[in-house]
Structure 1
Amino acid sequence: MQTFNQNQQLPIYTLEADEISGNKNFRLYQFEGTLPNQSELLIPHRKDHYLVVLIRHADSRQWIDMTPYILKNNTVYFSGPSHIIVKEGFKQLWSTGIAFTKEFLSLQENASLSKLPIIENLHNGHELALTEADLNFVEDVLAKINVEYQKPGEWQQRMLTAYLTVLLTYLSRLYTEQFKGGDHSADKLLLKSFQAKINECYRELREVGEYASKLNISAGHLSEVVKIQSGKPAIKHIHERLILEAQRLLFHTQNPLKEIAFDLGFSDTSYFNRFFKRETGITPADYRASIREMYH
């Protein structure tokens, strides 16, 4: 697998409008044995959008963060803007993919979609197994989306939103079943809101009280609920998110430790080293060496 050297920046690929719809915030991809132009996808990268793909058949694997996925037939894969993705190449590919941006989700009629489990992805999952009935349902909705996608006009946005709502709601039900995230109690929802806020602000906010202010509750109440619901102190969730991002950068880039520390909001490399070792038991340099030896 390729990595980036210290003179390269991890690219972030934007969603570009195609000639059919002209929509810069929503796009549909279809491959029927053909190959996408994938040279830029064979290096570690992020996307600035969400991607949900039904793989009908593929003959390769891809990495999402530090996890390799051998692509399975008739399986849904999904990722969001924060994830680092690397593909290992395809000989042939049969798939339908739907991509949409945060801006698409921020539209008033789409706002509820951002709260769906498959979008929040608090379990950091990326693969959904489908039964035959699931596959038939997903294929049917994708076919309807494709029809609307080919017909630009004043009703297109509403129709795409309606069908996407059905698809993502259905996949979210599968997500909660497969990742055991179906508890919707008030305290569980608060834990999810806290975790989602960490994903947004982990580079800038490091204290539980700062997140409590964002959520309009007291730090004591937040700490109590998070500890009961997750079994871990609230501060541990913040630290784990920082460690995850550090591990992503150590694995996928050759950036020096000083640059990684600065990117994560640490002003001092030695403090970053101590923080990483305290949380993981090894230094960042040792982690980078061991993970490269394992996967390269």
Structure 2
Amino acid sequence: MKEQLDYQASELGINDLKLKGFKVYEVNDTISKIPTYNRRDFYKICINTSKSLIHYADRGIETDGTILFFGNPHIPYSWEIISPEYEGYACVFTEEFLKANDRSESLHESPLFKIGGTPIFTLSAEQKVFIDSLFKKMIEEQETDYVFKDDLIRNYINLILHESMKMQPSENFFKHKNASSRITSLFLELLERQFPIETKNEPLALKTPQDYAQSLSVHVNHLNRSVKEVTGKPTTAHITERIIGEAKALLQHTDWSISDIGYSLGFEYPSYFNNYFKRLTGTIPKSLRS
């Protein structure tokens, strides 16, 4: 029997989560399920032993055994339990709870939670015992009156995060649900790989939708339709925004000449770069250095 694994707010005390920023609970087949596939407003870590099918953004993974899952509030996901019995633990928390008094990188930049990352880890029997023990400690601590229990729970979560980063993520993701999602993901990844510009002597290699389509071995019309369908913006808009963003960074943080910056971004003549920059920003490049 197939079931969708999710939880009613009343059962998990999500209102409590919003007040304290954290909730930990045990997962088993007595909990009510609601089919969902959407974004949440909190991060989630879950250890689960079952045969499952997890949909994460436009990817999916089939599991059979014990896995550790990291849910990101920026990415929609759903969890389909296939086996009749399952067990595990989960905790949900806000970024504010985990990063209290901590000015380190944002959680969505973490290797475990970042968009495009792989959020599922297959655990050995030994790893399962250890991670289970951390969840049990959090459940116990959650019910105490200890003054510093929030700090202690944060330490347990961070221990899970660090132990997980030492593991290799699962590579069993099956392909994207549709070609548009897949090609858009590849385009955005390729676009991001063009930056930052590190030398003024090598101009930007890919500048137009045609350049990206050729590199991805697809027709430019297919690329344009896919990107617009998935992101709501044309391919050219993504490229333009990234070039302008890089231009501003180079103008503000390097001593390169405006001519060198324009050349590094693929503009053969300084006048082409000046006109392009002014048309899109309403001002000339030199103004950013005034």
TM-score by length of 2: 0.51
Letter in 1 for 2:54: Q
Name the CA distance, whole Å, in 2 between partners of 1:98 and 1:19: 14
Residue number among 135, 138, 149 corresponding to 1:145 in the alignment: 138
**Match of residue 223 from structure 1:** 197
Name the CA distance, whole Å, in 2 between partners of 1:233 and 1:138: 45
CA shift at 1:234, angstroms? Answer: 11
Between structure 1 and structure 2, the one with the greater Rg is: 2
**Match of residue 33 from structure 2:** 38
Task: Please state whether the residue corresponding to 2:118 is helix, strand or coil.
Answer: coil
Higher relative contact order (CA 8 A, sep 6+): 1
Contact 2:41 2:73 in 1 (8 A): yes
In 2 relative to 1, CA 136–113 (structure 1 residues): closer, same or farther, beyond 3 Å?
farther
In 2 relative to 1, CA 135–234 (structure 1 residues): closer, same or farther, beyond 3 Å?
farther
In 2 relative to 1, CA 151–166 (structure 1 residues): closer, same or farther, beyond 3 Å?
same
Residue number among 131, 137, 152 corresponding to 2:124 in the alignment: 131
CA shift at 1:88, angstroms? Answer: 3.3
**Match of residue 80 from structure 2:** 88
> What does residue range 104-119 of structure 1 map to in structure 2 within 5 Å?
104-109=97-102, 111=104, 114=107, 116-119=110-113
**Match of residue 287 from structure 2:** none
**Match of residue 62 from structure 2:** 70
CA shift at 1:110, angstroms? Answer: 7.8
**Match of residue 290 from structure 1:** none
Name the CA distance, whole Å, in 1 between partners of 2:131 and 2:15: 25
Contact 1:54 1:95 in 2 (8 A): yes
Q: Which runs of 4+ in 1 moved over 6 A?
A: 19-22, 232-236
Task: Please state whether the residue corresponding to 2:144 is helix, strand or coil.
Answer: coil
Task: Please state whether the residue corresponding to 1:99 is helix, strand or coil.
Answer: strand
Contact 1:21 1:150 in 2 (8 A): no
Contact 2:43 2:73 in 1 (8 A): yes
In 2 relative to 1, CA 43–126 (structure 1 residues): closer, same or farther, beyond 3 Å?
same
**Match of residue 158 from structure 2:** 165
Contact 1:51 1:80 in 2 (8 A): yes
CA shift at 1:145, angstroms? Answer: 1.5
Name the CA distance, whole Å, in 2 between partners of 1:128 and 1:37: 25
CA deviations 1:175-216 (Å, max 9, x no partner) are 5x778xxxxxxxxxxxxxxxxxxxxxx9xxxx99xxxxxxxx
Name the CA distance, whole Å, in 2 between partners of 1:31 and 1:174: 23
In 2 relative to 1, CA 88–74 (structure 1 residues): closer, same or farther, beyond 3 Å?
closer
Higher helix share: 1
Name the CA distance, whole Å, in 1 between partners of 2:69 and 2:195: 36
**Match of residue 28 from structure 1:** 24
Unaligned runs of 5+ in 1: 1-12, 180-201, 209-219, 240-256, 277-296
Name the CA distance, whole Å, in 2 between partners of 1:235 and 1:223: 17
Contact 1:31 1:95 in 2 (8 A): yes
CA shift at 1:23, angstroms? Answer: 4.8
Q: State percent identity of aligned pairs.
A: 13
Letter in 2 for 1:27: K
Unaligned runs of 5+ in 2: 1-8, 172-187, 213-224, 239-290
Contact 1:148 1:160 in 2 (8 A): yes
Structure 1, 108-117 or 166-175: larger mean CA deviation: 108-117
**Match of residue 60 from structure 1:** 52
Count of aligned positions: 192
CA shift at 1:82, angstroms? Answer: 1.6
In 2 relative to 1, CA 16–104 (structure 1 residues): closer, same or farther, beyond 3 Å?
farther
Letter in 2 for 1:224: E
Name the CA distance, whole Å, in 2 between partners of 1:79 and 1:100: 10
> What does residue range 249-268 of structure 1 map to in structure 2 within 5 Å?
264=231, 266=233
Alpha-carbon RMSD: 4.5
In 2 relative to 1, CA 234–140 (structure 1 residues): closer, same or farther, beyond 3 Å?
farther
